[in-house]
Amino acid sequence: MPITKVIFLGKSKKKTGNTRFMFNALKRRVKKAVFINVPRHRKLFFWTDYQKVIHKKIVGANPDLVLTYSKDIPYQVLEDIRRSYKTAIFYPDITVPIAEELVRYARLTDYLFITNKGQLAELKSLGIKNPSFCMQGCDRDEHRITPTKNRKWASKVAFIGRPSNDYRIELLRLVNGRYDFKAWGADWQGFGITSLKGHIYPKEYARICYAAQIILGCDYNHETECYFSNRTWITMGCGGFLLTNYVSGLETIFTKGVHLEWYRSPEECLDLIGYYLKHEDRRKRIALGGYEFAHSRRTYDVVMDEIISRIENDHGTK
């Protein structure tokens, strides 16, 4: 059955813009899409049961699909609507081991879309009906090459993110000690690395990608097949040259030295930084290849079409 009406629940995600980008793409994919900002409803309807308000809105819209970003839908609302409407969760994060709360939500949901392949079998064994691999993407309009002459954004190497694990901290310390390096994100000062801005918004992200010669990727999880941060698609979408950590399956999605470059150890990372700083033409060619690949193969329009089409073409659920 064609999906023409969708309720999309989530937070505003002002820093990343993810829910806004997904909702804009959803509006281009279906005839009618309604966004329910769950935290805003909790705040606006503090004097009553905000969950009943959300439930009433869903029933009033009578959607073909209720799509939730992460676990933002109230659990009781999901429990109340799941027998009447198709439901799906897009879960952009990863927890190892798999979070019990995610399993609890996903067991009530018709479809679960996750951003890695490594946990699909385990999720099925835990009673999840339809776990599917679905990568994130970049925005077709906002994640673009954005020229800037402001030198504050410029450096040989840049990293955008937080000190979320020891591997990342130690790698960035090594890079910081050898190259002209800038970190963008909160909480780096405690590790001897100067961070120039705590929160980076999409337009600023694009300026960094333009002004830095190399954008360094160092994901939180290196062990799970095909899991990588959405910074991968955003960096490529903004025209940055991305040097990121290798994870199993990366070569099934990207071509090394064509769309991006990857390293398998801190030593190789440092060597590749030195190499690409000396080979500007090749670096720029790869950055352009990544830019064209991201915008032709993985905008949020592609993501939303993948989700909607997967559900439309499945005849095994309500």
**pTM, whole model, 2 decimals?**
0.95
Q: Sorting pLDDT into bands at 50, 70 and 90, what band is 76?
A: very high
Q: How far apart are CA 270 and CA 252, in angstroms?
A: 25
Mean pLDDT of 55-81: 97
**Band of the pLDDT at 317, cuts 50, 70, 90?**
low
Residue 288 pLDDT: 98
At 13, the pLDDT band (50, 70, 90 cuts) reads: confident
Provide mean pLDDT across the span 132-156. 97
What domains are there in the chain, each with its CATH number? 5-137+299-312 (3.40.50.11930), 151-297 (3.40.50.2000)
pLDDT, average across residues 140-159: 97
Tokens of 296: 């032709």
Residue 14: predicted pLDDT: 85
Mean pLDDT of 117-143: 97
What percent of the chain is predicted at pLDDT more than 90? 94
Q: Please give the mean pLDDT across all residues of the chain.
A: 96
The three-state (H, E, C) secondary structure of the chain, written as one string: CCCCEEEEEECCCCCCCHHHHHHHHHHHHCCEEEEEEHHHHHHHCCCCCHHHHHHHHHHHHCCCEEEEECCCCCHHHHHHHCCCCCEEEEECCCCCCCCHHHHHHHCCCCEEEECCCCCHHHHHHCCCCCEEECCCCECCCCCCCCCCCCHHHCEEEEEECCCCCHHHHHHHHHHHHHCCEEEECCCCHHHCCCECCCCCCHHHHHHHHHHEEEEECCCCCCCCCCCCCCHHHHHHHCCCCEEEECCCCHHHCCCECCCEEEECCHHHHHHHHHHHHHCHHHHHHHHHHHHHHHHHHCEHHHHHHHHHHHHHCCCCCC
CA-nearest of 188, 190, 234 to 210 is 234
What is the pLDDT at residue 1?
82
Residues 88-104 have pLDDT tens digits of 999 999 999 999 999 99
Choose among 211, 175, 207, 206: nearest CA to 193: 175
* pLDDT over 80 (residue 318): no
How far the first Cα of the chain sits from its last, in Å, is 10
- Give the amino acid at 26: L
Give tens-digit pLDDT for 255-300. 999 999 999 999 999 999 999 999 999 999 999 999 999 999 999 9
Task: Answer yes or no: is pLDDT of 221 > 80.
Answer: yes
- Alpha-carbon dihedral sign for residues 234, 235, 236, 239: positive
pLDDT band for position 315 (cuts 50, 70, 90): confident
